[in-house]
Amino acid sequence: MSLIVQKYGGTSVADVEHLKNVARKVAEWKKKTDHLVVVLSAMAGETNVLLRLAHEACDNPDEREMDMLLSSGERVTIPLLAMILKSRGIKAISLTGRQSGIFTDGMHTRARIKTIKTDSIKKYLDDDYVVVVAGFQGYSEENDAVTTLGRGGSDTTAVALAVALGADRCEIYTDVDGVYTTDPRVVPSARRLHHVSYEEMLEMSGLGAKVLQIRSVEFAAKFGMPILVKSSFQDGPGTWVKAEDAHMEKVLVASVVYDKAQAKLTIAGVPDSPGIAAKIFGAIAGNGINVDMIIQNISVHGLTDISLTVPTADAKKTLDRLEAVKEEINAREVLTDGNIGKVSVVGVGMRSHPGVAAKMFSMLADAGISLQMISTSEIKISCIINEEDVDRAVRMLHEGFELGKE
């Protein structure tokens, strides 16, 4: 028995006309597979509309109520798709997160799936229904309340359901036709990858590639569920995200990723004594601030500078925290620089091929681009550079590592 879980999101569920297009694809797929589960997100833009209503309502919306509000979005798309399918003679039923058996912890707006009770979905699948599931949402039994899985959570719904149901694969239909060697808007010769490994996809999602929610990739990696990323609008082979195999290891660098929505903060003139870093990072921890890179300059006359990068959205909050701790640690000043960007190369091949970092640095140096901060993992190298150099750096690295060639 074949079973596929498909997820349609973004503009592919933007309105009724697009949902009819999804229904056509689903009808085709139902002929090719025994069982089909379809996960939908809210209509494109709807989540932003609901967020705006909440922020009109009050300054710090209660998170339980926020989840009740946000979860209404998928309750519009799922019945619409189910009724279109039914009107075309295909047995279909829409299920909310709770009705699909997706139970989470009680962390509203960023809940994690605890368990999936598949009885109900399985019953409908056995009865030959296409099951249309609301993505992004679950239910906390402890709170007796609906929860949401965070931005892009529908990807995680789809992968988690695929794992729980033992699906053959999880297909993610989106606005792009796969995962690219880099952003085609910056580098026209960017090439769609046939496959990337879970590790590469994790790095790429973490570095700013918006194809998949990072948690969905973690889930897929943990359980070895193959993901196929495809376009909602055109046919094509898409990109497989799956376990690393022999073929992949031949590739040195799979992708160049960039992120301009970064800010650098520097605490200058910090007395270089033990425990200072702990005080600084203690002050900003636990506030949902996502510190990315950290660098500490060599101490001169007992004073040092500590720089860190955060997403632009967290810059103001981070600055407030650092200003608050400045007095306490007797630092001179706090500086902010929003004019930076991060460019990274990712590839599992780096594990067995040293020298990628050196090659990257020399390419950037030859182009006169100076590096402000560097961070590496086993399979990626990231550099912080001036924002205005980012596009040029991406183009050069893409060409230098010959990513445009098969």
Contact call for residue 58 and a second copy (CB under 8 A) = yes
Q: Is the dihedral of CA 123, 128, 132, 136 positive or negative?
A: positive
User: CB neighbours (10 Å) of residue 326?
Assistant: 19
Contact call for residue 54 and a second copy (CB under 8 A) = yes
Spacing of C-alpha 205 from chain mean position = 5
* Smallest gap from residue 324 Cβ to a second copy (A): 24
Contact call for residue 150 and a second copy (CB under 8 A) = no
Q: Give the ranges where 127-197 is alpha helix by DSSP (H).
A: 153-165
Contact call for residue 82 and a second copy (CB under 8 A) = yes
Contact call for residue 90 and a second copy (CB under 8 A) = no
Instruction: Name the E strands within 250-355.
Output: 255-271, 294-296, 303-311, 333-346
Contact call for residue 394 and a second copy (CB under 8 A) = no
* Smallest gap from residue 96 Cβ to a second copy (A): 8
Contact call for residue 39 and a second copy (CB under 8 A) = no
**Residue 222: enclosing H or E segment and its boundaries?**
helix 214-223
Stretch that binds a second copy, among 50-58, 211-219, 252-260, 299-307 (CB under 8 A): 50-58
Task: Out of 24, 45, 53, 370, point to the residue binding a second copy (CB under 8 A).
Answer: 53
Interface mask toward a second copy for 14-33; x: CB under 8 A: --x--xx-------------
- 3-class DSSP assignment, residue 288: coil
Among residues 215, 189, 193, 192, the alpha carbon closest in space to that of 202 is found at 215
Own/partner long-range contacts of 151-155 (Cβ < 8 Å, ≥24 apart): 151/213, 152/210, 152/212, 152/213, 152/216, 153/213, 153/215, 154/7, 154/9, 154/39, 154/40, 154/41, 154/74, 154/213, 155/7, 155/9, 155/212, 155/213, 155/215, 155/216
Task: Out of 21, 99, 312, 336, point to the residue binding a second copy (CB under 8 A).
Answer: 99
* Smallest gap from residue 84 Cβ to a second copy (A): 5
Contact call for residue 57 and a second copy (CB under 8 A) = yes
Return the number of the residue (96 or 296) whose C-beta is nearest a second copy: 96
Return the number of the residue (60 or 352) whose C-beta is nearest a second copy: 60
Task: Return the structure tokens found at 201.
Answer: 């996809």
Contact call for residue 119 and a second copy (CB under 8 A) = no
Q: Give the ranges where 11-152 is alpha helix by DSSP (H).
A: 16-32, 46-57, 63-70, 74-87, 119-126
Contact call for residue 68 and a second copy (CB under 8 A) = yes
Task: Out of 1, 31, 56, 286, point to the residue binding a second copy (CB under 8 A).
Answer: 56
- The whole-angstrom separation of Cα 6 and Cα 227 is 10
Return the number of the residue (66 or 179) whose C-beta is nearest a second copy: 66
Contact call for residue 120 and a second copy (CB under 8 A) = yes
Residues that bind a second copy (CB under 8 A): 16, 19-20, 50, 53-54, 56-62, 64-69, 71-73, 75-76, 78-80, 82-84, 86-87, 93-94, 96, 99, 120, 144-145
